[in-house]
Amino acid sequence: MSPPKKIRIGDLLVQNNVISEPQLMEALAKQKQTGQKLGRTLVALGFVTEQRFLDFLSQQLNIPKVDLTHYEFDAQEVMRLSESHARRFRAIVLKEHADHFLIGMADPMDLHAFDELQRLLSKPIRQAVVPESQLLGTLDLMYRRTEEIASLAGQLEEEISDDAFDIAQLSAQDDSEVPVVRLLQTIFEDAVQVRASDIHIEPDEHVLRIRQRVDGVLQENVVKERRVASALVLRLKLLAQLNISEKRLPQDGRFNITVSGRSLDVRISTMPIQHGESVVMRLLDQSAGAIGLDKAGLPEALLSRFRKLIHQPNGLILVTGPTGSGKTTTLYGALMELNEASKKIITVEDPVEYRLERVNQVGINPKIGLDFATVLRATLRQDPDILLVGEIRDAETAAIAMRAAMTGHLVLSTLHTNDAISSAMRLVDIGVEGFMAASALRGVLAQRLVRKNCVHCSQPYTPSAREQAWLEERLGAELAGASFAAGSGCTYCNNTGYSGRIGIFELLELDDAMADALRSSNTLAFTQAARSAPGYTTLAESALAFAGQGVTTLEEVFRVTEQMDEVAQELAHAFQPPDKPQFGGLSLEPLDGEG
Ligand SMILES: [Zn+2]
């Protein structure tokens, strides 16, 4: 097929009244500064939507416009174009025909890309125009590293004879030719592409399992070259400066690695299991950085209430939820809003997750006796306005945090509890005296993440009889007229039906009734006061609302709320031992630096 004629798209857009002459002038001027393509500039300036622009291109060039969200790719055909070429030319193979390729391009007017693609594929090409945002997401998913990992593992296994690794090779810093280095790099690249939060490397009897946690759920990749596991583990231990000869005891450490141009902070933990050592790595994308509170996913009304809380000059604010519930994101978001030259902020964390400018961040290190309580005591001598305590785990930390909150400091912290109501009572349970909790605590935000339906394969859906019964029992007719949906699974969601997560929240602001109940450690009265507070919505209700809007599935709501019920029962149990004293009997030592 002949290449597209060189046309002046700007003039055509004006001639066809898609944009005005002054808009074109403004876009051209802007384009000179940024060097970006005209189309993208016009969209960025809001003069035309991406869809409208693509429709126009498709008409003018007489080529189809393809929506990639529902496109069924043939993985082998896609691979006819290497990943680097696909990314460089913003192109993807949509279909291979006997005499030509159908290629989706983000910029079909790029003549250079057209020529290069035709040369590389050695067959004529026909173009289709595709949205750039969709294209980039699709490339990430199509060019997975699974095969590369398998082939590198094969190579590596050939090179190693049992237990005789070349330590010098394994510790090579940047020799990307060494198979184990390349294999590891590929594993990390794959994890970054699918937005995995953790990588698990688990040697089994006959295979090596590499599992990645994506949106909170593990996905498995089985590598049959089991023997490469020891080389991988050894290399990882060297990177984290762990003791490589110690294989019988668990170890933990951290290291930094650059993957696809991003700086990843990796927290690593090893543990001896029946067939070797299991390694789990948590990935923190340092280059992504902390995000603002408005991006933490709080609904508008809750966000403004939470903002009011954190802008108080003193008191304790708790953000609670299990590991991976997004509470760190919320807390960092809060710190970012509070971070100004006139406020001294100190954080005590385990470990420091994101670095924040101007904030004094301390990572605890129990190995040298630097625990939460010790650091917290020291921070109070540093004249802070705002403190972030990574987690309140014990009576001592709780006591110091309370004291700080009652003596003119704003204290933000987390508790490992399930919902807002149990969090407040949990303080008493840890050993904080009721009157202290009542006067220090300002509010509790409980949160959890639920998986969102994949927008590409989500379909309307009618709940089963069992689900309907559950809904009626919990909510009566409140969800009548709701439209439920579920994903069937596609390339975009790795066949899980889910993609991305959204936060569900429960915010408790302490009022007089709650404070009174807390003062007398009266769980029942506290629960009643909390439930009748205006604007109070439980996590389950918040999750169900999303299900009713088709954002997530009922299954996901059940998954999340079942966990809650379990722990809620445990807590209820923990709260009412027959001989439990009213107060924890905690003695509070005076703190240095108090007025
Ligand atoms: Zn999908």
Within its chain, how far is the Cα of 338 from the centroid? 23
Q: How many residues does the chain have?
A: 595
Give the C-alpha distances (Å, rounded to integers) separating 34 from 38, 41, 44, 592: 10, 9, 12, 55
* Rounded distance from Cα 134 to ligand 1 centre (Å): 13
Following DSSP, what letter does each residue of 433-472 receive, concatenated? -HHHHHHHEEEEEEEEEEEEEPTTTEEE----HHHHHHHH
d(CA 500, CA 497): 10
* Rounded distance from Cα 515 to ligand 1 centre (Å): 47
* Rounded distance from Cα 10 to ligand 1 centre (Å): 36
Question: Hey, which bits of 176-292 come out as E strands?
Answer: 196-203, 208-214, 217-223, 251-259, 262-273, 276-285
Residue with tokens 């340092």, as numbered in its chain: 286
* Rounded distance from Cα 69 to ligand 1 centre (Å): 9
Interacting residues of 210 by C-beta distance below 8 A, sequence separation 6+:
149, 187, 199, 200, 201, 202, 220, 221, 222, 223
* Rounded distance from Cα 498 to ligand 1 centre (Å): 6
d(CA 283, CA 266): 5
Q: Which two tokens stand for residue 101?
A: 């390729």
| Nearest one of 371, 389, 406, 218 to 320, comparing CA atoms | 389
d(CA 433, CA 428): 6
Give 589's DSSP letter: P
* Rounded distance from Cα 438 to ligand 1 centre (Å): 47
Q: What is the pLDDT of residue 165?
A: 54
Interacting residues of 533 by C-beta distance below 8 A, sequence separation 6+:
508, 509, 511, 514
d(CA 169, CA 155): 15
* Rounded distance from Cα 212 to ligand 1 centre (Å): 18
Which amino acid is present at 176?
S
CB distance 319 to 376 below 8 Å: no
* Rounded distance from Cα 70 to ligand 1 centre (Å): 9
* Rounded distance from Cα 458 to ligand 1 centre (Å): 7
Q: Which two tokens stand for residue 567?
A: 């722990």
Q: Is 590 helix (H, G, I), strand (E, B) or coil?
A: coil
CB distance 183 to 175 below 8 Å: no
Give the C-alpha distances (Å, rounded to integers) separating 393 from 269, 378, 405, 554, 592: 21, 18, 17, 33, 22
* Rounded distance from Cα 499 to ligand 1 centre (Å): 7
Q: Are strands 315-320 and 410-415 parallel, antiparallel or unpaired?
A: parallel
* Rounded distance from Cα 485 to ligand 1 centre (Å): 12
Helix/strand/coil (H, E, C) string of 90-133? CEEEEEECCCCEEEEECCCCCHHHHHHHHHHHCCCEEEEECCHH
Residue 338 φ/ψ region, left for φ over 0, alpha for ψ in the -120 to 50 degree band, beta for the rest: alpha
* Rounded distance from Cα 544 to ligand 1 centre (Å): 21
CB distance 417 to 378 below 8 Å: no
* Rounded distance from Cα 488 to ligand 1 centre (Å): 7
| Nearest one of 47, 66, 65 to 57, comparing CA atoms | 65
* Rounded distance from Cα 479 to ligand 1 centre (Å): 25
* Rounded distance from Cα 235 to ligand 1 centre (Å): 35
Q: Which stretch of DSSP H or E encloses residue 349?
A: strand 345-349
* Rounded distance from Cα 219 to ligand 1 centre (Å): 15
Q: What is the pLDDT of residue 477?
A: 55
Question: Hey, which bits of 26-174 come out as E strands?
Answer: 91-96, 101-105, 125-129
Which amino acid is present at 53?
F
* Rounded distance from Cα 489 to ligand 1 centre (Å): 4
Residue with tokens 């097929």, as numbered in its chain: 1
Q: Is 498 helix (H, G, I), strand (E, B) or coil?
A: strand
Q: Which two tokens stand for residue 82?
A: 């290497």
* Rounded distance from Cα 129 to ligand 1 centre (Å): 22
d(CA 90, CA 81): 11
* Rounded distance from Cα 260 to ligand 1 centre (Å): 25
* Rounded distance from Cα 232 to ligand 1 centre (Å): 32
| Residue 203: cis peptide before it, omega within 30 degrees of 0 | no
pLDDT tens sequence for the chain (595 residues) = 555 555 678 888 998 889 999 999 999 888 888 878 888 889 889 999 988 999 999 998 899 999 888 788 888 899 889 888 898 889 999 999 999 999 999 989 888 899 999 999 988 999 999 998 889 888 888 887 777 788 888 888 887 754 555 555 556 555 666 788 888 988 998 898 888 889 999 999 888 999 999 888 888 888 888 888 988 999 999 999 999 999 999 999 989 888 888 888 899 999 999 999 999 999 987 666 677 888 877 888 899 999 999 999 999 999 998 888 888 889 999 999 999 999 999 999 988 878 888 999 998 888 888 899 999 999 999 999 999 999 998 899 999 999 999 999 999 999 988 888 888 888 988 989 999 999 999 999 999 999 999 988 899 988 877 777 777 776 665 666 778 899 988 777 877 899 888 899 999 999 999 999 999 989 899 999 999 998 888 888 888 888 888 999 988 888 887 766 544 444 334 433 333 233 333 333 333 333 3
* Rounded distance from Cα 418 to ligand 1 centre (Å): 30
* Rounded distance from Cα 455 to ligand 1 centre (Å): 7
* Rounded distance from Cα 32 to ligand 1 centre (Å): 39
Give the C-alpha distances (Å, rounded to integers) separating 152 from 71, 224, 412, 420: 31, 12, 46, 48
